[in-house]
Amino acid sequence: MKAEGVTELLRNQRRPLVEVGVALALSAAMLTLAFPKAAWWPLAFVALAPVVYVLLDKRMGWNWRRAWMLGYVSGCGWFLATLWWIGYVTVVGMLVLVQVLALFMGASVALGWWLTRRGIWACVAFTMAWLVYEAIQTYFLTGFPWLLLGYALRPALPLIQVADIVGVYGISALVVVVNVAVAEGARAYVGKLGWRGCRGSVLVAMSMLAMFLAYGLWRMKTLEESPQRSIRVALIQANIPSLVKHDTTRDYDILQQHVELSRATMGENPDVVIWPETAVPGYFFERRLSYHVVTRFVKEVERPLITGLSRYVIGEDGELEYYNSAVIIEPSGFVSSMYDKRHLVMFGEYVPFERYLPFLKLVTPIEGSFTPGRDARGLVYSGPEGKRVAFKVLICFEDVMADLARVTAEAPADILLNLTNDGWFRSSPGPYQHAALSAFRAIEQRRPLVRATNTGVTMIVDRLGRTRAVLVVDGRKTEIAGTLVADVPLHNGRRTLYAESGNMLLWLACGGTLLAVVVLGVQGQLRGRGRV
């Protein structure tokens, strides 16, 4: 073989590897930039397109292992670049989480490729496969639905109003469909696919975009009305460093900082004062210092206080049960309502399999596990002149669990209230991602969202997902101390279709995918035996 021929052969073999490498880098980079802090949301519509583009190229000689590896490597880059801040709490836990998410993302990409190769339309195949991945991410080992694709569109308010019907998962479906259309359009542009071959995906993507946008604009117009009533809240962000919160010698200082900040808001006449998650040091009902300082404060200002705190009780088996709770403490000092956190943070509030794998405690900052709450009912504020406001409480990252925020007949709500502490994560992308994800709950339930953070993004979001007020000090939203006093508009709205039906779209996608895999698998077996 001539030297020129060898050179050309090596060049032809190297070209696919270069294309795959570029696709991996582009997808990981654009997925990262689509989410906060950068929040360049239009990138979400093209971020997966490079991976889909190379997967649709039959000359690459793809099989399911290579397709899985493509998704896995791209996922590793994306999750590591977006979730690195979890390493502030546990580096080992962060690396394990990145691997688990990347493994499932690789399986989703491979599944989409497999369905496409067996005749399923690409925009349908990849969308169904991706929704299966998001279902696993939501529910596997209690779930971590953090970087669902739909969340990237948080700034695009008209496009995400349809979340009150299909939830954030419907928004994710739109993003995947557009990505597939972009990939097929790019293949048609470079001559690897005829324009007729991409016409269907492009038409579907454009139709979905038009319908989502039209519905969003109509919904925003119809819901733009004056509130029937309101409640004035004072949100307290004390910015207590995480290490200080766990120093019992600083308990009095922590309490006084919350009290002084709260006193400063009295001139703005709030109806209720709200402190963040575990703002009260120690176990409130047993810790005499915390109990007396807090009850003395509410009696002084004659305002009820909603606060996060820790408590314990003796369980039915005689063992102590610890709870991460939220309560309303009335001006009389009486606790009138209580909510216990139901969805605990893995490695943050409980250690999975700790009875069988006790060494896992060594890689976490906690000493023992909390007990999940059992009651979905939240807190009820009863004010003067018969004013009554029901709060649906979401503690810590419960606000990213769409199921937990659903307003039901058994647990009605006027306001979604998130008490959290993102102090572990400083000014990293974590608190900003958390705030963006949280805002979707307001749209899904058509209830305003109030967030009180120890440090993080303290804000008020209306039922359209618009940020009505946010705490900013010297241009900063995190690692600051301050107060936010504002009126929260209340509407006597009905429950949304999403509140009624939940993640029906997600389960339909999972069921449809399972059925397709079974049918196509059986057909493949029959073909292999010469019966089809």
Q: Is the pLDDT of residue 483 over 80?
A: yes
Please report the pLDDT score of residue 9 as a whole number.
Answer: 37
Among 175, 192, 222, the domain boundary falls at 222
Among 167, 200, 222, the domain boundary falls at 222
- For residue 170, what are its two tokens? 């419907």
Q: DSSP string covering 376-392, please? A: ---EEEE-GGG-EEEEE
Helices (H), 349-417: none
pLDDT digits (tens, 9 = 90+) for 419-470: 999 988 999 999 999 999 999 999 999 999 999 999 999 999 999 999 999 9
Pairing mode, strands 305-314 and 320-329: antiparallel
Q: Considering the candidates 277, 330, 349, 444, report the single residue annotated as catalytic.
A: 277
User: Which residues form the domain of 193?
Assistant: 11-222
Q: Are 65 and 106 in contact (CB under 8 A)?
A: no
Please report the pLDDT score of residue 6 as a whole number.
Answer: 41
Any domain includes 4: no
SS3 of residue 334 by DSSP: coil
Q: Is the pLDDT of residue 318 over 90?
A: no
Any domain includes 508: no
**Does the annotation count 396 as an active-site position?**
yes
Burial class of 238 by CB neighbour count within 10 A (0 to 12, 13 to 18, 19+): buried
Any domain includes 503: no
**Does the annotation count 277 as an active-site position?**
yes
Burial class of 314 by CB neighbour count within 10 A (0 to 12, 13 to 18, 19+): exposed
Any domain includes 504: no
Q: Is the pLDDT of residue 361 over 60?
A: no
pLDDT confidence tier of residue 114, bands split at 50, 70 and 90: very high
| Nearest CA-CA partner of 63 in 110, 27, 26 | 110
Q: Is the pLDDT of residue 530 over 70?
A: no
Same domain? 323 vs 209:
no
Cα(14)–Cα(2) distance, rounded to whole angstroms?
A: 19
Same domain? 91 vs 217:
yes
Phi, psi of 444 (to 5 degrees): -60, -40
Number of domains in the chain: 2
**Does the annotation count 192 as an active-site position?**
no
Question: Going by C-beta distance under 8 Å and a sequence separation of 6 or more, which residues neighbour residue 147?
Answer: 31, 35, 78, 79, 82, 83, 101, 433
Same domain? 336 vs 482:
yes
| Nearest CA-CA partner of 65 in 23, 21, 114, 14 | 114
Helix and strand counts by DSSP (H, E) for the chain: 14, 12
Mean pLDDT of 64-74: 94
Same domain? 216 vs 242:
no
Of 137-146, 191-200, 461-470, the least confident: 191-200
pLDDT confidence tier of residue 319, bands split at 50, 70 and 90: confident
Same domain? 283 vs 182:
no
Among 202, 222, 242, the domain boundary falls at 222
Phi, psi of 355 (to 5 degrees): -65, -35
Pairing mode, strands 305-314 and 272-274: parallel
Any domain includes 3: no
Question: Going by C-beta distance under 8 Å and a sequence separation of 6 or more, which residues neighbour residue 191?
Answer: none
Our CA dihedral for 252, 255, 260, 263, rounded to 10 degrees, sits at: -140
Same domain? 280 vs 391:
yes
Q: Are 23 and 51 in contact (CB under 8 A)?
A: yes
Q: Which carries the bigger pLDDT value, residue 311 or residue 9?
A: 311
Cis peptide before 58 (omega within 30 of 0): no
Cα(129)–Cα(124) distance, rounded to whole angstroms?
A: 8
Please report the pLDDT score of residue 354 as a whole number.
Answer: 58
Q: Considering the candidates 245, 396, 398, 444, report the single residue annotated as catalytic.
A: 396
Q: Are 102 and 79 in contact (CB under 8 A)?
A: yes
Cα(34)–Cα(182) distance, rounded to whole angstroms?
A: 16
Q: Considering the candidates 123, 134, 341, 349, report the single residue annotated as catalytic.
A: 341
Cα(436)–Cα(35) distance, rounded to whole angstroms?
A: 9
Of 122-131, 247-256, 486-495, 523-532, the least confident: 523-532
- % of the chain at pLDDT higher than 70: 91
- For residue 224, what are its two tokens? 């733009």
SS3 of residue 304 by DSSP: coil
